[in-house]
């Protein structure tokens, strides 16, 4: 997986410009001088920075307006971000339009969260289902450490994982198996089942 992340870093950052519909990323020559090990550490730092920013804006709204308002904005943000993240990963991996569950399994391993949380991907023997489980969640661990109530992430997760999967392959649907506040499996923080509907 780290090899794929390094390749992703090189292909999107180091070589030339990355053009999308309205976005151009300048070449950063300093990055090309870094070793593989340094790039891995940098990717880990970028991932943690991304998650920290996600938490900072959320907690700012939560403190001023309450959890319900913060959750509303969290859902709205994920409606867009999950599609953007999936589209870029899909393009990087060169996945076909109908990448199936195997394509989804590859893409899930390149999300920012994959560098932060301890997770597992279980592909069904029939190749028609995939279960994604977060075994250790950095968000909930941080909130517990700060003596804050847990993030009621199920409603956000439904948007996040459904949108991500549909961007990888429009035939894939997502179902929540367990997620706070509706925990049905105490062996993980959350669990999501993806089904390929042909």
Q: Return the SS3 of 182.
A: strand
By CB atoms closer than 10 A (0-12, 13-18, 19+), residue 115 is: buried
CA distance 30 to 19: 20
Tally of structural domains, the chain: 1
Tell me which residue range forms the domain holding 89: 2-196
Contact 82, 164 (CB under 8 A): yes
CA distance 104 to 94: 12
Tens-digit pLDDT string for the chain (198 aa): 445 444 544 444 443 334 444 456 678 888 889 999 999 999 999 999 999 999 999 999 999 999 999 999 999 999 999 999 999 999 999 999 999 999 999 999 999 999 999 999 999 988 889 999 999 999 999 999 999 989 999 999 999 999 999 999 999 999 999 999 999 999 999 999 999 998
By CB atoms closer than 10 A (0-12, 13-18, 19+), residue 30 is: exposed
Domain harbouring 81, CATH code? 3.30.1380
Whole-structure pTM value: 0.84
């Amino acid at each position: 997986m780290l090899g794929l992340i390094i390749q992703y870093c090189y292909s999107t950052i180091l070589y030339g410009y990355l053009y999308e519909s309205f976005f151009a990323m300048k070449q950063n020559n300093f990055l090309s001088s870094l070793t593989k090990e340094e790039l891995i550490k940098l990717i880990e730092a970028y991932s943690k920075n991304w998650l920290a920013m996600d938490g900072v804006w959320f907690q700012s709204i939560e403190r001023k307006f309450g959890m319900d308002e913060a959750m509303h904005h969290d859902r709205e943000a994920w409606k867009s971000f999950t599609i953007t993240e999936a589209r870029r990963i899909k393009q990087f991996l060169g996945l076909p339009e109908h990448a199936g569950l195997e394509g989804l399994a590859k893409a899930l391993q390149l999300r920012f969260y994959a560098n932060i949380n301890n997770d597992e991907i279980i592909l069904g023997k029939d190749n028609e289902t995939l279960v994604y489980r977060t075994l250790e969640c950095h968000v909930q661990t941080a909130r517990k450490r700060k003596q804050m109530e847990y993030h009621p992430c199920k409603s956000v997760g439904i948007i996040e994982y459904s949108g991500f999967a549909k961007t990888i392959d429009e035939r894939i649907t997502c179902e929540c198996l367990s997620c706070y506040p509706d925990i049905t499996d105490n062996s993980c923080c959350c669990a999501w089942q993806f089904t390929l509907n042909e």
